[in-house]
Amino acid sequence: MIDYDLHIHTEYCGHATGMTVAAILERAEAMGLSSIAITDHIFSHDDHAVIQKIRADVAAYGPALKVYVGAEVDVDYEHTDGRFVTDTFEGLDLVIAGFHYVPTVGNYPHSPQDNTLNAEEFLQHWHDSLLGIVSNPNVDILAHPGRLLAAGVDLDVHFEDALCIFAEAAALSAQNNIAWEINEMTGCRLLPQWWGQWHRIYETALAEGVKLVYGSDAHAPEAIGTHEYVDMILAKLPKNCLARPEEILTLKKKNK
Ligand SMILES: [Zn+2]
Ligand SMILES: [Zn+2]
């Protein structure tokens, strides 16, 4: 059993009904988790205020477990260099990089048909953005690697090329002590025929010495700490390859 969860949203983001900070902490305590990270979206610089509101809510509750207050900071889709929507990372215990939208276009494609860039152009922007993201030492965790790729291109054609790009990204991630997330919600976003392949992304990470961590990406209390899809991926990876939250956070501190 995994006793932590490093990716949880709150109802302040507007699409996570019932996720008050108190409801999150009650659920985490009831599940016996030892630590969690509350990581709501930062879509623009102004959203830092929301994160500090969450910090105040956590303090008011006084949880029995370790709680990191961080954010899933969005990549700025107006550029293709992987820069973020804010330059400020102070006041965040944990920074998760959220690469959600097609660079230069700005939508979340629900299928490759929904992606107005052609595959070559998309892959070039995806490559440039991804390498930019993992070159940023402020980042602690790369959220759901490959989710945007799966949404935006036909994986039957482009998966092997993408794995080479992941290998480049893994080398940079290792240099910058950026862990890669095994994300439970990705199981709902990915076509089932790809479930059996997704561990290969994490194999490229492990080969370069990148640490792997778990996050549910919960938008509802009952999703906190759940890891059915994650267990399926872990079953195909070396035993005990999941890192502890303390490991990745201590590494960062040493280097900051
Ligand atoms: Zn995300
Ligand atoms: Zn998320």
Residue 157: what residue type?
A: V
Strands 141-142 and 4-8: unpaired
Which CATH architecture best describes the domain 4-255? Answer: Alpha-Beta Barrel (3.20)
Give the distance (Å) from ligand 1 centre to CA of residue 17: 17
Give the distance (Å) from ligand 2 centre to CA of residue 123: 22
What is the structure's pLDDT at 109?
Answer: 93
What is the structure's pLDDT at 67?
Answer: 98
What is the structure's pLDDT at 1?
Answer: 83
Q: At what angle do helices 119-133 and 155-175 cross, to 10 degrees?
A: 20
Burial (CB count within 10 angstroms: exposed 0-12, middle 13-18, buried 19+), residue 60: exposed
Separation in Å, CA 214 to CA 131, 201, 247: 22, 15, 13
3-state secondary structure 181-220: EEECCHHHHCCHHHCCCCHHHHHHHHHCCCCEEEECCECC
Give the distance (Å) from ligand 1 centre to CA of residue 84: 13
What is the structure's pLDDT at 157?
Answer: 96
User: Token pair of 96, please?
Assistant: 């998760």
Give the distance (Å) from ligand 1 centre to CA of residue 85: 14
Give the distance (Å) from ligand 1 centre to CA of residue 29: 24
What is the structure's pLDDT at 37?
Answer: 98
Q: Which of 117, 136, 135 is nearest to 126 (CA)?
A: 117
Give the distance (Å) from ligand 1 centre to CA of residue 41: 8
Give the distance (Å) from ligand 1 centre to CA of residue 92: 17
What is the structure's pLDDT at 234?
Answer: 98
pLDDT per residue, tens digit, the chain (256 aa), is: 899 999 999 999 998 999 999 999 999 999 999 999 999 999 999 999 999 999 999 999 999 999 999 999 999 999 999 999 999 999 999 999 999 999 999 999 999 999 999 999 999 999 999 999 999 999 999 999 999 999 999 999 999 999 999 999 999 999 999 999 999 999 999 999 999 999 999 999 999 999 999 999 999 999 999 999 999 999 999 999 999 999 998 766 555 4
Give the distance (Å) from ligand 2 centre to CA of residue 62: 24
What is the structure's pLDDT at 253?
Answer: 59
3-state secondary structure 14-61: CCCCCCCHHHHHHHHHHCCCCEEEEEEEECCHHHHHHHHHHHHHHHHH
Q: Concatenated DSSP letters for 49-109?
A: HHHHHHHHHHHHH--SSEEEEEEEEEB-TT-SS--BS-S--TT-S-EEEE--S-TTT----
What is the structure's pLDDT at 242?
Answer: 98
Helix (H) or strand (E) holding 6: strand 4-8
Q: Is the full-model pTM beyond 0.75?
A: yes
| Ligand number nearest to the C-alpha of 71 | 2
Give the distance (Å) from ligand 1 centre to CA of residue 40: 9
Give the distance (Å) from ligand 2 centre to CA of residue 186: 10
| Ligand number nearest to the C-alpha of 143 | 1
Give the distance (Å) from ligand 1 centre to CA of residue 190: 14
Is 230 strand, coil or helix?
helix
| Ligand number nearest to the C-alpha of 41 | 2
